């Protein structure tokens, strides 16, 4: 059987054991049942630990598989046993699982989830007969990755840096933590123990946070400050964010324009030019925050409606209606500004 380059060491070993299980049963192929049996051969392996935590031991799984398959009466000595279509589909599911979890290598936990998601495979049928569901197995399999995410988040979240910089920090730390985990998993008794040892090798969270903080350039720290002050703050709604932005815009316009008009009035006295400037600033103070709020809310609602994100109902006609309202706000604001200033 050709090596699986995307598999980690434990997953490759499980596939080698799956080939042996196929040979033991005199089968000329490797199916989902053989992969599951290969995973179960590792008594202290990740897959066995996941099933054990769900109340299912390896002996019960083997017994259930034995009910569904029978050894072939013909001796098959072929070394290169091909994967069945369902086994290939299960491995593809495993690859997708690893991709979603931002992991480069496929491990035993991904294979187990992939076997459960191949509903018509013998492995999936056997595990469902024992009362397991794909969601249960996936949630249990995700515990290690969630623990890794939590470890990295404790380090990166306090760092005062823009989103892009912190995303890069997360990716690098996750890759380093995952490499530690793969090494510790060879020696540790179970996956969670390997996770704790890998986190310990990474270092103390507070120390790493300070080191990362020092690596952030001044301009990026300034950008972070602006982002925190004016950007979206979870879990704000779009309405609340735009309302806050409108208030900030009002303060900024007032802080920059009113002192200038006041100084000009003191210097030059009352004039038609000063009166026009006062009317212009007043129009900006009234209309700019209102436009900021209305146009911002309409934009986000139009985006959500057009793409159907965040639970919104996708509707092209509604998106067009919101777009017309957007244009109407721009038109009314422009006309209102001109009339207020010139009349």
Model confidence pLDDT, tens digit, residues 307-329: 876 667 888 899 999 999 999 99
Residue 2 pLDDT > 50? no
Residue 75 pLDDT > 70? no
Residue 119, pLDDT score: 87
Residue 92 pLDDT > 50? yes
Domain architecture of the chain: domains with CATH: 9-132 (1.10.1780.10), 144-221 (no CATH), 235-342 (no CATH)
Q: How confident is the model at residue 14 (pLDDT cuts 50, 70, 90)?
A: very high
Residue 79, pLDDT score: 65
Residue 115, pLDDT score: 96
218 alpha carbon, distance to own chain's centre: 28
Residue 46, pLDDT score: 86
Task: Give the pLDDT mean for 240-247.
Answer: 93
Residue 339 pLDDT > 70? yes
100 alpha carbon, distance to own chain's centre: 7
Percent of the residues in the chain that have a pLDDT greater than 70, as a whole number:
95
Q: Look at 264 and 335; give whichever has higher pLDDT.
A: 335
Residue 291, pLDDT score: 94
Q: How confident is the model at residue 1 (pLDDT cuts 50, 70, 90)?
A: very low
pTM score of the predicted model: 0.62
Average pLDDT of every residue of the chain? 88
C-alpha distances out from residue 226 to 153, 221, 236, Å: 22, 9, 17
Percent of the residues in the chain that have a pLDDT greater than 90, as a whole number:
53
Closest CA to 186 of 12, 49, 45: 45
What pLDDT, in 10s, does the model give residues 47-73?
888 998 899 988 999 999 999 988 776
Q: How confident is the model at residue 96 (pLDDT cuts 50, 70, 90)?
A: very high
Q: Look at 187 and 143; give whichever has higher pLDDT.
A: 143
- Record the tokens describing residue 228, joined without a space: 């925190």
Residue 72, pLDDT score: 74
Is residue 342 within 8 Å of residue 318, measured between CB atoms?
A: no
Handedness of CA 48, 54, 60, 64 (dihedral sign): negative
Q: Cα dihedral angle (209, 210, 215, 221), rounded to 10 degrees?
A: 90
Task: Give the pLDDT mean for 198-207.
Answer: 93
Peptide bond into 235 cis (omega under 30): yes
Q: Give bridge partners of residue 83 from the DSSP assignment.
A: 30
Q: Look at 80 and 225; give whichever has higher pLDDT.
A: 225
Q: Look at 26 and 43; give whichever has higher pLDDT.
A: 26
Q: Give bridge partners of residue 106 from the DSSP assignment.
A: 7
Dump strand ranges (E) for 255-318: none
């Amino acid at each position: 059987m050709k090596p699986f380059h995307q598999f980690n060491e434990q997953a490759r070993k499980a596939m080698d054991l799956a080939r042996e299980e196929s040979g033991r049963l005199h089968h000329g192929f490797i199916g989902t049942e053989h992969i599951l049996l290969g995973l179960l051969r590792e008594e202290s392996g990740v897959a066995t630990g996941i099933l054990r935590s769900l109340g299912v031991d390896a002996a019960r799984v083997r017994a259930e598989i034995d009910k569904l398959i029978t050894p072939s009466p013909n001796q098959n000595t072929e070394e290169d046993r091909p994967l069945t279509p369902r086994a290939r589909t299960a491995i593809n599911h495993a690859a997708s699982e690893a991709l979603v979890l931002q992991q480069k290598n496929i491990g035993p936990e991904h294979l187990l989830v992939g076997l459960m998601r191949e509903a018509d495979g013998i492995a999936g049928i056997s595990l469902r007969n024992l009362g397991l569901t794909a969601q249960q197995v996936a949630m249990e399999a995700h515990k290690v990755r969630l623990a890794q995410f939590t470890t990295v988040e404790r380090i990166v979240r306090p760092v005062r840096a823009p989103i892009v910089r912190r995303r890069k920090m997360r990716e690098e730390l996750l890759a380093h933590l995952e490499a530690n985990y793969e090494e510790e998993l060879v020696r540790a008794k179970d996956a969670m123990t390997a996770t704790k040892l890998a986190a310990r090798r990474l270092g103390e969270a507070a120390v790493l946070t300070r080191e990362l903080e020092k690596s952030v350039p001044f301009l990026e720290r300034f950008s972070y400050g602006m982002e925190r002050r004016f950007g979206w703050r979870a879990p704000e709604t779009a309405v609340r964010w735009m309302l806050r932005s409108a208030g900030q815009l009002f303060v900024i316009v007032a802080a920059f324009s009113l002192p200038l008009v006041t100084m000009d009035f003191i210097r030059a006295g009352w004039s038609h030019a000063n009166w026009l400037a006062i009317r212009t600033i007043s129009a900006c103070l009234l209309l700019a925050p209102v436009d900021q709020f209305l146009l911002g809310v309409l934009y986000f609602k139009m985006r959500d409606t057009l793409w159907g994100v965040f639970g919104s109902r996708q509707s092209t006609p509604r998106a067009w209606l919101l777009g017309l309202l957007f244009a109407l706000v721009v038109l009314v604001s422009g006309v209102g500004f001109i009339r207020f200033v010139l009349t």
